[in-house]
Chain A
Amino acid sequence: MKLLRIKAIAQKELIQIRRDPLSLAMAFLMPVLLLLIFGYAITLDVNNLTTIVYDLDKSSLSRELISELTASGYFSVVRSADSGKDIDHYLDSGKARVALSIPSDFSKNIRTGKTAQLQVIVDGSDSNTATIALGYLSALTEIYAQRIGGGRITPLIEPRMRVWYNTELKSRNYIIPGLIAVIMAVIAALLTSLTVAREWERGTMEQLISTPVKTPELILGKLIPYFLIGFIDMVLSVVMATFLFGVPLRGNIFLLAMISSVFLFGGLSLGIVISITTKSQLVASQISMVVTFLPAFLLSGFMFAISNMPKPLQIITRIIPARYFVTVLKGTFLKGNPLRILVVDAVFLLIFGLVVFAIANRKFKKKIA
């Protein structure tokens, strides 16, 4: 292996990248855009649930209940219904997600010490929001009942909850470190999955083959420029996460840089393998989606907890590198995990990178012959 030849290939690739400023711009803007959307637009917290109220009681007690709900900030009443039909219409058309009907004997039952009933209908089509809405409702009616009943009875057992790592339970702190892993996986695939296939399609591969460059030199030469782009993206993402969004970075930043490099190496090599085996840009783009984007997004634990998945899928997640990188990022940002704890994930990422790089070399040799 000659350093000179690797350098030459890397230089050639850099010139090609520079000639395509649009792709380069997108490679840098993609993480920025995604971080901005996730940082500003998306929250998992459920607020302002559109609610329609059908108050048949029209008493001060029923009004107090309604204001208890709206004052919480979780529910916002979009309409007071005049009939049961109104409820159907509002839920069917999605104008309201929650319908609360208060029967006419609500206040009478409360005053006479009987059990007062409330009917609630939630739009279950978004099961997640519906579950959370039901939780809020039952908690708020409990509070209401205690307040109306005059003072609360101390429960026999008081659960004292303490939250670690993300004390304020900000969903931003949870999403953004994981998001960086997804971004890096996608970027890595986007950058390299077409690079070899393009040479084949355009016929420039024959020219490269006729040069004395050896397979590992060619692959390394192609990797280096994209590695630099990916690493800049990584730095950009971490800087935005900490300074713009205030996600705490409690771990060692050098350790993070090291493990990120290993992950990038694996991700870029995977892109190269896809590119080498498909030889067609169209096919490569589709395969890199299935192999990189979907698993990184859905099976990495970035948003959807792995412990909730069925067992066979949990096993599949073990071969997905993004899963390990998500653990590393969340651990480094929020928990301040030292290498001692992250070592297993780091070692897996290293093995993955080396294996994929070896595959790239093998596959490519065959094609030249």
Chain B
Amino acid sequence: MHKSIERIKQMVVKEFIQIFRDKRMKAIIFVIPVIQTMVFGYAVTTDVNNIPTAVYDLDRSYESRELVRRLEASGYFSIRNYVSSPSEMQDLLDRGKVTMALQINRDFAEDLKRRTPTSLQILVDGTDSNTATVAMDYANRVILKYAKDVAGKTARLPVNVDLRARAWYNPELRSKNFNVPGVIATVIMLTSLLLTSMAVVREREIGTMEQLMVTPLKPLELILGKTIPFALIAFFDMALITSIGVLKFDIPIRGSIFLLPVSTAIYLLSVLGTGLFISTLARTQQQAMMAAFFFFMPALLLSGFVFPIENMPVAFQYLTFVNPLRYFLVIIRGLFLKGNGMVILWPQMAALFVLGIVVLALSSLRFRKRLG
């Protein structure tokens, strides 16, 4: 037993020397998580703000200017252009310079003063259906609010329902709170998958696998020696992203911080297992890389990382049950945002554990077969 541990240790040391012999690897292992966290913290927001808008104001009255001012003041719209013809509006939309174009007709102010219902033309670029929906909703709200203010108390509805809404866990609804914890899960998966599978296959490609096999290393020790270094790198990435998230982006950690390494370890079972499995399929590093992506892309898309699982067709929802990323995302977001403890998270942990054991067992079996 003691000898076995010693052999694994030697193997891990050899592996680290090999990985970091290439000095660029050090930088890469550090840079990838940092870049991803930064981009997700700053760039990836599904919040819709500053929708580029063009205004075609035929009325040029105090009222029309007031309406435009209110649209701009809402923060949702940023007025980029004042145009003087419909063809200009068309051109701006065609070129994608603006997403929305508002046309205020000549008698707008006159109608308002006489309290006769008037209308506004709004053109929306529907290319981005998501932004378009939100933009129309915002525009509607701002305009109706303005109409109400102009109409005064007379337009009061006979029935008033006051909706008091609160958002739990993320009261300001910041999308970085949702995204950054998820980055931990995806970075670990992508780097571990690629590194594990490619490192094993490289050994075979260069022909050093034979050398390893003539050493007293047992297959299981070989597997452990090959995977432990990448597990350690994964833990490093996890700590790094968590620090950036907390220090730079003010992501709260409401749950127990000890559950973070524990659940990461359970998650790594299936991720490293999958990497190992890919290495038994691939003959070349090229194949390993493509296969890793072939697994990663669907896993990423069908995990709830960006796209909620409930919105998928039922068949795809079942498919997500074999996706380790799915469980880890629930755990990690629960830990960070909801302050979930074991009481709530244990089913996810258990599922992840079972999945990991199965994947690891399967790939170890295949791995030993290929060695023999």
Q: Interface residues, chain A, CB within 8 Å of chain B? A: 20, 22-23, 26-27, 29-30, 33-34, 37-38, 40-50, 91-94, 110, 113-132, 134-135, 137-139, 141-142, 144-146, 148-150, 153-171, 173-174, 186, 190, 194, 198, 201-202, 278, 280-283, 285-287, 289-290, 294, 298-299, 303-305, 307-310, 313, 327, 330-331, 334-335, 337, 341
Contact = CB atoms under 8 A, between A and B. Distances in A.
A282 B198 contact: yes
Nearest to A295: B39
Given A141-B163, A294-B36, A304-B45, A23 B290 contact: yes
B161 A41 contact: no
Interface residues of B, number: 119
Given A165-B126, A166-B132, A285 B297 contact: no
Interface in B139-188: 139-140, 143-144, 146-148, 150-151, 155, 157-175, 177-178
A70 B163 CA distance: 17
A174 B194 CA distance: 31
Contact of A91 (B112, B137, B139, B168): B168
30 contacts: A22-B291, A30-B294, A37-B301, A42-B311, A42-B312, A91-B169, A115-B161, A116-B161, A116-B162, A118-B163, A127-B47, A128-B178, A132-B134, A159-B120, A162-B122, A167-B126, A168-B126, A174-B130, A194-B286, A278-B24, A280-B22, A281-B198, A283-B28, A294-B39, A308-B47, A308-B49, A313-B39, A335-B94, A335-B96, A337-B94
Contact of B32 (A157, A168, A280, A286): A286
Contact of A125 (B148, B170, B297): B170
Interface stretch (B269-277, B330-338, B349-357, B362-370): B330-338
B31 A145 contact: no
Contact of B124 (A33, A47, A91, A163): A163
A182 to B, nearest CB: 10
Given A146-B157, A153-B155, A327 B96 contact: yes
B285 A169 contact: no
Nearest to B154: A153
A310 B42 contact: yes
A148 B71 CA distance: 31
A20 B121 contact: no
A96 to B, nearest CB: 11
Contacts of B285: 194, 198, 281-282, 285
A190 B293 contact: yes
Contact of A30 (B40, B190, B293, B306): B293
Nearest to A76: B310
Contacts of A171: 129-130
A181 to B, nearest CB: 14
B232 interface: no
A137 B294 contact: no
B312 A130 contact: no
A121 B48 contact: no
Given A37-B298, A289-B32, A124 B171 contact: yes
B238 interface: no
Contacts of A146: 157, 159
B202 A281 contact: yes
A164 B139 contact: no
The residue in A42, A138, A170 that gathers the most chain B C-beta atoms within 10 A of its C-beta is A42
Interface in B29-50: 31-32, 35-36, 39-40, 42-50
Given A116-B162, A169-B132, A305-B131, A156 B124 contact: no
B93 A164 contact: yes
Contacts of A139: 137
Contact of B293 (A130, A138, A168, A186): A186
Contacts of B52: 307
Nearest to B93: A164
A138 to B, nearest CB: 6
Interface in B264-299: 281-287, 289-291, 293-294, 297-298
A149 B159 contact: yes
Contacts of B45: 304, 308-309
A166 B166 contact: no
Interface string B51-71: 110000000000000000000
A173 to B, nearest CB: 7
Given A22-B282, A127-B174, A164-B125, A201 B312 contact: no
B316 interface: yes
A125 B118 contact: no
B101 to A, nearest CB: 9
B321 to A, nearest CB: 14
Contacts of A190: 289-290, 293
B75 to A, nearest CB: 12
A129 B173 CA distance: 10
B170 A33 contact: no
Given A286-B25, A330-B96, 18 more contacts: A41-B301, A41-B313, A45-B311, A46-B311, A127-B175, A127-B177, A130-B167, A141-B163, A153-B157, A158-B119, A159-B119, A164-B123, A165-B127, A169-B126, A290-B35, A299-B39, A307-B52, A307-B99
